Structure 1
Amino acid sequence: MGSMADICINMALSDFYSEHPNYQTRLRLHTKDAKSLLEANFAVLDLLKHEEVHGILGSQVATEDKFLAELGGKVNVPVISFTARSSTLPYSQNRFFIRTTPDDMYQAQALAAICQEFQWSEVVILYEDTGYGNQFLSHLNKAFQKIDIGIAYMSAITTSSEDSRILKELKKLMAKQTRVFLVHMNPSLGYQLFSCAKKAGMMSEGYAWIITDYLSNFLSSTDFVARDSMEGVLGIRPYVSWSEKLDSFQERWKRNMVLKNRAGSVRDLNIYGLWLYDTIYSLAIAAEKIGLVNSSFLYVNTSKNGTDTANLKISAFGPRLLNELSHTKFRGLVGEFQLINGQLKPSAFEIFNVIGNGERTVGFWTVDKGISRELSSTGVPTHSSSTKSLKKAMWPGDSVTHPKGWALPATGKLRVGVPVKHGFIEFVNVKIDAAANRTNATGFSIDIFLAALQLLPFPTKYEFYPYNVSENCNSSYDDMLHEIPQAFDIVVGDTTIWAPRADHVDFSLPYSERGIVLVVKNKKPFDTWIFVKPLRWDLWLTIIAACILMGIVLRILEHRVPNTNEESVRPHRERLLTTYWSPIIALAFPERNMVANTWSIIVLVFWLFMAFILMQSYTANLSAILTVDQLNFVLSEEIYVGYQEGSFMKFFLKERLHINESRLKKYSTVEEYHDGMTRGSQRGGIDAIFDEIPYMKIFLKKYDSQYKIVGPIYRTEGFGFAFAAGSPLTANFSKAILAVTQGPTMTSIEQTHFGPGYSSEDPLSPTISQRTSSLTFFDFGGLFIIVGSVTVFALLCSETLVGRKFTSLTAQCSQKCLCFMSSKFHSTRNVAEEIHASVPDIGATPGEGGYAIVVGENPSGSEGEICDPGQNNEGASAEDQEVKTDNTEERNSMAHN
């Protein structure tokens, strides 16, 4: 690396000033050779003190960058690295550290895109256990997380590891299912790793290996043995487009290597030499832009702080050089040279395949366009009309089919765990054949599994393993899931997708209905006075009071309205008495003309509007009371709730609904549920059932209208298959399950196990009873009692002697009260008439804006009073008749006068 750098720097200086002989400035190179990190630090200090440099070019080791960056920031000297691919300090904190290389963040994004292109959901990373290796790992984590690619395992290998240590680590990786390995190591350690991988049999069909440019940039210098062990590897490196200038430079570089006898470890030119060449060009351009500077203006002052940096001068030229360098832009050997935020603008990455002693380009990746097959001469991706994917590659084991990224266990069969239980065998029914030492399973969940198995993109064998999920055996579904991956590769059955379980296993997409429901007995409580409940007592009293007040108001409004011809057949007093009842009569006989005053009609319209609203509200509320599902009693009353044995429902009821454990009872079968509900909590049973919709649909289908679902549906994700966390099987089975549940076979599978007419597309259809639950006489018993009592009372008063006598006495008492009130009213009116006679202005006509008082005898013989002497008041005493006659004569006399 040092030999290559030395030649590239000298060639860059020679080429640049040969092309620009008239430039006034010249770059002068001062070199120091260092064998260790400590020597490198001292070399930099020596250059700053004695050579008085204004820029530091280097270093080659990533761990030196932090020290150099801090030192350059103190003395205002730009530190320019042509090897650093990432920085521990952000550019905003140290602007004097410049990287003329693209950031590793872009390479990590390209690697993630490759994994996504081949649909690899998980990757194993083998990296060099150094600071640079850890920095690159953080970039990979971020890039993979963005596209949901998991890192199955990260293996850190030290640079001093022996073959035995590497082989031990590789054998541990072979036991895992993931078969995609990403290698980020220096050339020496990388070649050692692939040699051990070939010995372990991991460079065979089914494996996929990807290398970063940390190794691929030096492939041109590898020998035949190293390349042979890397057959079929996929690599990535910065793309360098061909140009005549690049071709000429490479030829001259080879001659210089031979002439100067620099036969080091680097046998061929690589991208680092090209970056260095372009870096020298950019420095020369920036220096020329600044121009000649007087030596007295090169430094600000001397830094003397008592540390090792004593006697170091602070450069005044360094900030100017940094500024010009940041704005330098030209076309170099690698491509476009431009610094953005202290680092080289990223270009395209080349994706290649190692085949024999050569390499074959299979595609490219760019920041803007992602993966493409070809690039134009300007570096822009060109997509063919048929596909955007990469070209065909040769994989380890001379396979042309890209690896699926994972493999089955060493046995070659999936270990399928199935729950053994007593009830709800429609989902899973396990039978153990002891003679053949084999486990057979049938049911809805098993058929979904078998149908999904046929849709996987690879052939898969399986074997069932039973697991008893019973609280009597101190085991449950949660315990069965904890056996993954030690005992099972997959658990198939009526296993609910639940958040606490997802902490240690992965679930496929659900294949059943979702939700938990409450089931109670389908009966209504006996309540004779249920029709009163829609309205509270205060509203009932308000309605009654409003009816009475409205009748009085209408009586007053109708007092001045004279009889018409149509009404002359009815006594005036009877018509006015009817007015009192008009608010109620109008509701029953709206077609009758009970009022004549315009204001009375307006008032009655608004009253009817309010009455109809009350009637509709009463109807709706009564309907809700008779049909609404009652749920709160579960949480408030001391009732008992049943749940399924071995499921997660016990924990759900305790933690989510806060139901005391003493009120919970476990059951296993549909028959046990029914027996418990039949007995009820008073006889050692239960009052309600909490369970998932698929189970309760079977329960309701069997017992029809005896039970119903009430309350809300508590959210769960339904049944799914469980896998080990990070298992690549999860995505494959999820796609297959989606195809099964949305395909034509789903209905036949459901009806095979749950009976004809069953459909999961309508999850609550069984809750509708096949027989209507009609309202009975007892639901309205109180209303019939009231109506019957009124009817009997009316018959007694109308048809019996005692009743008629009671009615007559009641009428006499009412007449006396009404006559007394009427006399008071007419006395007040006579006084008003006398005042009117004495004040002429009051007699103005209505058209003049005054009041018109009309005094005269009513044709019907009444002025609107209720007690009319001209009428035959049956039951009235002679004394009462005489009083009324006197009052009438006196009133007529006053009117005449």
Structure 2
Amino acid sequence: MEANSIGTMDKDYVWITTNAITSQLDSLNASIISSMQGVLGVKSYFSTTPKSYKDFHFRFGVMFHLQYLGEPIPEPGTSAMQAYDAARAVAIALMEKPNLKSCTNLTDDVACMHEMNGQQLLGKILQSNFEGLTGAFNFKEGKLAPIHIFRIVNVVGKSYRELGFWSEELGFSESIHKASEYNRSMSILGQVFWPGGPWSVPKGWGVPINAKPLKIGVPVATAFSEFVNVRYDRPGDKPIVNGFSIAVFEAALDLLPYHLPYEFIPFNGTYDSLVQQVYVEVIDAIVGGTAIIANRSEYAEFTQPYSDSGLQMLTYFKPKRRNHNPNFRGSIWNQIGTMLTLAFTTLFLIQEEKLHSNLSRVTMVVWLFVALVITKSFTASLTSLLTVQQLDQTTIDIETLKKSGAKVGCDANSFVGKYLEVVLGFQPNNVRIIGSGDYYPQALKSGEIAAAFIEAPYVKVFLAKYCEGFITSGPAFKVGGFGFVSIH
């Protein structure tokens, strides 16, 4: 309604809504729907023909009528059905009996439920695999399996009309039957009723010739300059900004069918402060290694992640060499020379000389045995040199680090320091701030810190530069990946 009041629902505007908004269309009142004329949206697809859906729909209607007498009964909506599926997954997990011998009646069932701790319950839920109201309900790598088919809807009049479907593998189609015609272009779905009328397709964006460039904030103090690097040729010059994040941003702009003017605004401070600059409208957007976390989402919108998500623990182990023979010393060339000399001498004596006495024969047997031992010893030493050095198998985990009071490191200006203290439970005086990614090797080797907690994209860069002795340890902690930040 706010967009309608400021005139952005008129001709030449395009509004495309995601499932989070479009799924609410069934429950919106007429006044809100009337202000959304021409909106195009994607909506999760689910079948309404199964008996399970019809039973749920009937019971939903009955319960709504009992609680809200006289009001029209709305459609349940995607969110309601997803909540029902989630509750069903919890119920199924609770009813699984860990001890079938003792759980023989209702009382035992309740006892078994109480015996199940939170971690066990979570494990049961993650094993869920059933056909829910919104489709298959199962988890992949700890995440709910995504929906692969969406409905394309267009708000017209007091409701909306269904234009067709979009499938991740096949594209757009007017129906979801196997014999349907698919196309990568939405034009197969027919005419769309756009804001202001259906007679012309709006451009969707119009940039005035004298438009001011967007102010794109970029972080200056970064631990890993491979992602964002800000430098100046001379004091007072415009900043030269490059790095992986900048390359992704520029590649995205190249896909636009119009020119979008922008300028980079360097910012020297924390990432949280940088996000706040968008909220107070000092800058328009942020391009950089900005992790998508909950408190930042309250002040700005994030794009889809363009990198891996997670926080990983990095440790260092001193490499050890093994299989050394103290009786076989000298350089490799001396060892090779000794072995060849012994071998050829032995072969020569066997082929050209005749041994007449038993003493000579016994001496030769002993000599052959010594040559065999030396050859095997050399082979073991050479294998040790050519084998990747084995690392100590000592396991370091979070609890060990906390109980021992070990120091751990993290990037400056990032959210990781607070995460280590608030979420993982480290004492503040045991968390060391590392200003540069190149200082981690020294800090870990010297024992200044026992482990480093670094965001997953940075870990890949670190291990590519410093691979010997450094490994990731333990599970990856789930935090949002990197995304671009735009106006809230």
By relative contact order (CA 8 Å, sep 6+), the higher-ranking structure is 2
Pair member with larger Rg: 1
Q: Which protein is richer in helix relative to its size?
A: 1
TM-score range (shorter-chain normalised) is: 0.3 to 0.5
Name the TM-score, length of structure 2 as normaliser: 0.48
